[in-house]
Amino acid sequence: MTLEKYRAKRKFNKTPEPSPLAKALGDKQRDGKIFVVQKHHARALHYDFRLEMDGVLKSWAVPKGVSKKPGEKRLAVMTEDHPLEYAAFEGVIPEGNYGAGSVEVWDKGIYSMVEKKEKSLKFILKGEKLRGEYILFNFKDRNWFLFKTMYV
Ligand code: MN
């Protein structure tokens, strides 16, 4: 989904989340593509898994969180693209706003893409908590499975 949808859902004068106009991350941090997992205490707790791709953060909501155990599939529902600077966001989205609740960075790091197809992505995460090769597989509409294949 596009950044237009991200913008359309938010009132930037009412939420501390970064606006797409804010400056992107500094170049010094950019030797690899970034990934981030944000723990989001919204109406229902979930983990937002985001991968830097094509200048934005491709995003999936993972209700049960990303597993560290190879083969353990987790549902990941694709949500709207987020601007790159969102990767550093932690804070509280006020009541009445889209995604109201607190956001904390659960893990972050860089990743390298191993294989990119229309309906599947294979990549290696190098985070603090998550390390290894993972696959995201689109099985129906916005629904994907996210799982670890192996330690690397
Ligand atoms: Mn969320």
| Neighbouring residues of 129: CB distance < 8 A, sequence distance ≥ 6 | 37, 68, 106, 107
* Confidence (pLDDT) at 26: 45
* Confidence (pLDDT) at 23: 45
* Confidence (pLDDT) at 152: 76
DSSP state of 44: S
Question: Ligand 1 center to residue 31 CA distance, Å?
Answer: 27
Q: With contact defined as beta carbons under 8 Å apart, do 75 and 60 qualify?
A: no
Please list all protein residues whose beta carbon sits less than 5 angstroms from ligand 1, which is an ion.
40, 48
Question: Ligand 1 center to residue 47 CA distance, Å?
Answer: 7
* Confidence (pLDDT) at 24: 45
Per-10-residue mean pLDDT of the chain, 152 residues long, equals: 83 72 44 89 96 96 97 97 95 94 96 95 96 97 96 78
Q: Whole-prediction pTM value?
A: 0.83
* Confidence (pLDDT) at 58: 97
* Confidence (pLDDT) at 74: 98
The DSSP bridge partners found for residue 41 are: 45, 102
